[in-house]
Amino acid sequence: MIIIETGDITHCPDDVIVNAANTSLLGGGGVDGAIHDAAGPKLLQYCQKMAETEGVRCPIGDARITPAFNLPSRHIIHTVGPRHGIDVDSHRLLASAYRNSLIVAKKQGIKNIAFPAISCGVYRYPHDEATEIALRTCAESDRQDLQIRFVLFSADVFEAWQNTARTLELGSCVVVKS
Ligand code: AR6
């Protein structure tokens, strides 16, 4: 089941929350900054020790897992979305960010996962396109027993996702919580 709702992902008690990170995994603004602030300094220390090649710890479209430290969730999956209008093949890369996050979650036996709107802030992905990619990729996931939540930070983003979700005809697997 896929649930769309508003909220602050740093408050979510799900098994795993997903971070919209950058390739360094060393923090930034937006949801990445909020997650690092709430998780505490041990998250940054942990990320600094992760394998990297020329500053890249996670390529665009890929995903890495860490503990959640001071957050109520158990793990954080850090993924990197594409920069709209800059990164080539951004549709495929955004779908990969969701798909690879779900693959990492599956390997950990995770039962519920909360996503933010990856690439929809600083990376400027249009909400209608991002919503379609996110929902179709998650709906295609083979995990029937995985609960997926989209936790959207503001009322206008929630409304944009809600409106697009209703046009996609994904059936009863998508529930909008207003
Ligand atoms: N809970 C849920 N969603 C949030 C929260 C929160 N606490 N805070 C912000 N959002 P962005 P991106 C929403 O910019 O576009 C960082 O600097 C926000 O309103 O966080 O993938 C990274 O280090 C927006 O709808 O991520 C990268 O450099 C959505 O999260 C870059 O930004 C994503 O916005 C990644 O950019």
Active-site option among 32, 37, 128, 145: 32
Question: For residue 120, how far is its CA from the centre of ligand 1 (angstroms)?
Answer: 7
In the prediction, which pLDDT does 142 show?
62
In the prediction, which pLDDT does 103 show?
95
Place of tokens 């158990």: 74
Question: For residue 113, how far is its CA from the centre of ligand 1 (angstroms)?
Answer: 17
**Is the CB of residue 63 below 6 angstroms from any atom belonging to ligand 1?**
no
- Mean of per-residue pLDDT scores for the chain: 94
Sheet with 112-115, strands from edge to edge, namely: 63-67, 75-79, 16-20, 112-115, 147-152, 2-6, 174-176
**Is the CB of residue 82 below 6 angstroms from any atom belonging to ligand 1?**
no
Whole-number percent of the chain with pLDDT over 70: 96
pLDDT-derived band at 145 (thresholds 50, 70, 90) equals confident
**Which two three-digit tokens encode residue 33?**
């900054």
Ligand 1, atom 8, residue with closest C-alpha:
31
Question: For residue 19, how far is its CA from the centre of ligand 1 (angstroms)?
Answer: 8
Neighbour tally for 55: CB within 10 Å? 10
> Higher model confidence: residue 111 or residue 175?
111
Residue 158 scores a pLDDT above 90:
yes
| Mean pLDDT computed over 132-153 | 88
CA distances from 60 to 21, 97, 121, 155 (A): 9, 7, 16, 28
In the prediction, which pLDDT does 58 show?
98
Domains for the chain: give ranges and CATH numbers: 2-176 (3.40.220.10)
**Is the CB of residue 30 below 6 angstroms from any atom belonging to ligand 1?**
yes
CA separation for the pair 178, 176 (Å, rounded): 6
Q: Which residue among 22, 101, 122 has the greatest number of ligand 1 atoms within 8 angstroms of its CB, and so is best to mutate?
A: 122
pLDDT-derived band at 172 (thresholds 50, 70, 90) equals low
Our answer to whether residue 32 is catalytic in this structure is yes
